[in-house]
Structure 1
Amino acid sequence: MEATDNDFIAIRSVIERQLAAFQKDDAQTAFALASPGIREQFQNADNFMRMVSISYPAVYRPRSVFFEKITTIQDNITQPVLLLAPDGKPLRALYFMEKQQDESWKINGCILVSVEAETI
């Protein structure tokens, strides 16, 4: 699937809105930005928020956020985001995005990968 410039803007906006919702402990908004499959998996906003706060502290309360260039991983439009975790550890969040029938974008999963420091 090819994404347009408008898609890139919309994807970034969805992720930014979800990160802002986590910052405010706004479970309903954060949950609403997840794909139908993710919402079905967690059943309700409280379960989703509890999972994120426990398993994804870098996403739940990042110290900094930097959006990288969108890519495709295994046919999934993926937005890499560099995060600084609460403990100061740099991580890359790979947000798998899903386009809905109404042309909106939802977050269809996120994995965290370590960022290896480069020596110069």
Structure 2
Amino acid sequence: MRVLVLLLALAFNWTAPAFADDVGAAQSVIQAQEQAFSRGDAAAAYSHAAPEIKQLFPEADIFMQMVQQTYAPVYRHKRFEFGEARAANGHIAQRVHIVDDNGEAWEAMYTLEQQGDGSLKITGCSLLKAGQAV
């Protein structure tokens, strides 16, 4: 029994830092894009988008216009706080609690994927008013 407990403890300790590193890296990417939005820096914001997103929006200005129109609470807000995260096999889902400029609460779910060069890129963002069903 002690061996089993020890093995579980070791397994937890080996996986927990990797999870924390993955989530920390994902949060850094999301935060860098959020800060680029706040500066109006389309090129910097676009640089954090995954190739699939760049295929849909082939230029940084087109991407920025889409974000402004479709993701206004992500683009401009009063509060932007990280919530629960999940990571597995190079994929990360990160929940973000947002309060928009009008004081309305939103929930964003960012997805990120590790690229061939090891970097993380944002593959999507789902946005719902807080309390709405998925």
- TM bin (shorter chain): 0.7 to 0.9
Matches of 2:61 and 2:86, distance apart in 1: 31
Match of 1:71 in 2: 86
Aligned counterparts, 1:1-120, within 5 A: 4-71=19-86, 76-116=91-131
Could you say which structure has the higher helix fraction?
Answer: 2
> Where in structure 2 are there 5+ consecutive unaligned residues?
1-14
Deviates further, 17-26 or 84-93: 84-93
> Where in structure 1 are there 5+ consecutive unaligned residues?
none
1:62: Cα distance to partner? 1.4
1:104: Cα distance to partner? 1.1
Matches of 2:21 and 2:86, distance apart in 1: 15
Q: TM-score, normalised by structure 1?
A: 0.88
State the number of aligned residues.
115
Matches of 1:51 and 1:33, distance apart in 2: 15
- Identity score, percent: 37
Residue identity matched to 1:87: N
Q: CA RMSD in A?
A: 2.1
Q: Which consecutive aligned stretches of 4+ in structure 1 deviate over 6 angstroms post-superposition?
A: none
Q: TM-score, normalised by structure 2?
A: 0.79
Q: Deviations over 1:29-86 (max 9, x none)?
A: 00000001101110000000000011111000111011012026xxx52100000012
Which structure is larger by alpha-carbon Rg, 1 or 2?
Answer: 2
